[in-house]
Amino acid sequence: MMQVRKASDRGVAEHGWLSSRHTFSFASYMDRAQMGFSDLRVINEDRVAPGQGFGKHPHRDMEIFSYVLEGALAHSDSMGTGSVIKPGDVQLMSAGSGVTHSEFNGSDDEGVHFLQIWIAPAKAGGEPVYQQRHFAETDKRGQLRLIISPDGRDGSLRIQQDASVYAGLFDADESATLTLDDNRHAYVHVARGSIELNGVKLEAGDGVRLRNPRTLQLGNGGNAEVLVFDLRPQELPQMP
């Protein structure tokens, strides 16, 4: 089954310094039909004004990764990590038993545009872990590059869950096919541009739930950047 949710249906949060679009329920945006999909809990598309950002705040028992589309995001945490995340970088923070961090736009004149994504871990607790790696445009051009996996294969970042994430860039006649194991779920998020998924046209900000899809075919892209999540067939309980 393929279920499309258009970008315009997402939750909206406007805070002046922050403009955010919530694919799933988050903070003051609550939609009981949009609590997540399998272990995927949050996809926030955030735009942060120059010199602004998220002050120090805590997390625990969540796998959190940032995917920067434009600008640069400065990160600092209680593990002693200080880094700057730019387009092509993937940052993964396993919060484990607890961590505090901050994220700021360090530029005085340019905004930062990024995706903040949360995936529930397989088990609670554990030592917090920080990972970051750059994936070149050539690694993603016309193909789906594995960026996150449960075993860290092929140079991907290692997540504490049975979930894999792929990133791809597609334009014109570039295309890719991903075959999933039986009895899996998938979620596709269009970060920017436009693309066809199994013949269905999608635009920036659109998301697609797929249950037992077996094969995903991406093509006919227009400056498209896409994230694909390979997930357990885990259904969230219905909220009353």
3-state secondary structure at position 138: helix
Provide the pLDDT for residue 1: 78
72 phi, psi to nearest 5 deg: -140, 135
Provide the pLDDT for residue 237: 59
Output helix, strand, coil percentages for the chain, rounded to the nearest 5. 5, 55, 40
**And the tokens for 57?**
């705040």
Provide the pLDDT for residue 204: 98
Provide the pLDDT for residue 220: 97
- Of residues 87, 130, 147, 134, the one with CA closest to residue 112: 87
DSSP state of 142: T
Burial 154-183 (b: 16+ CB within 10 A, else e): eebbebbbebbbbbbbbeeebbbebebeee
- Which residue, chain included where needed, has tokens 């996996």? 149
Provide the pLDDT for residue 77: 87
Provide the pLDDT for residue 238: 55
Please tell me the pTM assigned to this model.
0.96
Provide the pLDDT for residue 239: 52
Provide the pLDDT for residue 14: 97
Provide the pLDDT for residue 51: 93
Provide the pLDDT for residue 106: 81
pLDDT values of the chain reduced to their tens digit, one per residue, 240 residues: 799 999 999 999 999 999 999 999 999 999 999 999 999 999 999 999 999 999 999 999 999 999 999 999 999 989 988 899 999 999 999 999 999 999 999 888 999 999 999 999 999 999 999 999 999 999 999 999 999 999 999 999 999 999 999 999 999 999 999 999 999 999 999 999 999 999 999 999 999 999 999 999 999 999 999 999 999 998 765 554
